């Protein structure tokens, strides 16, 4: 599976965070894995590890986002946009092997696919302030 597809799977898992309690997240991960029977063990491990790493950093990620997003704090953002921004900020700040420009570009591409017409520009704008 390509890195883009892996990132998309992680995005889908992170999106569930907005609708489920922390206690339910292991169950949500299992449901997602059942839906993706084609995942290899290596892919499953990568997705699970990155998902949990991002979940642990959510308060810190949201703090960084809130510092730069004027008038659009995380509580007001659309769920798709917020999830994509969180994923990209995590990659920008904690994954040295992912260039900042790649993290931003991938988030914008996913925003085009899953967000509203305004999502790509919004996501790009917030992430540009963090770059």
Distance CA 4, CA 109 (A): 10
Closest by CA to 88, choosing from 46, 45, 57, is: 57
User: How confident is the model at residue 66, as a pLDDT?
Assistant: 94
Tell me the pLDDT tens digit for each residue of 103-126. Answer: 999 999 999 999 999 999 999 999
pLDDT of residue 70: 81
Chunked into runs of 10 residues, the chain (131 residues) has average pLDDT values of 89 82 67 68 88 93 93 89 97 95 97 96 95 87
**Predicted local distance difference test score (pLDDT) of residue 41:** 83
Helix, strand and coil percent figures for the chain, each rounded to 5: 75, 0, 25
Domains of the chain, with CATH numbers?
A: 3-130 (1.10.940.10)
């Amino acid at each position: 599976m390509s890195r883009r597809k892996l990132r998309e799977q992680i995005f889908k898992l992170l999106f569930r965070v907005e609708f489920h309690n922390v206690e339910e997240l292991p169950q949500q991960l299992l449901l997602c894995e059942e839906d993706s029977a084609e995942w290899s063990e290596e892919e499953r491990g990568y997705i699970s590890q990155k998902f949990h790493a991002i979940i642990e950093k959510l308060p810190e990620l949201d703090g960084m986002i809130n510092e730069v997003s004027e008038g659009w704090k995380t509580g007001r953002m659309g769920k798709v946009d917020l999830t994509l921004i969180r994923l990209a900020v995590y990659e920008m700040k904690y994954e040295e092997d992912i260039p900042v420009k790649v993290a931003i570009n991938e988030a914008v591409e996913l925003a085009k696919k899953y967000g509203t017409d305004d999502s790509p520009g919004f996501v790009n704008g917030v992430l540009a302030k963090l770059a």
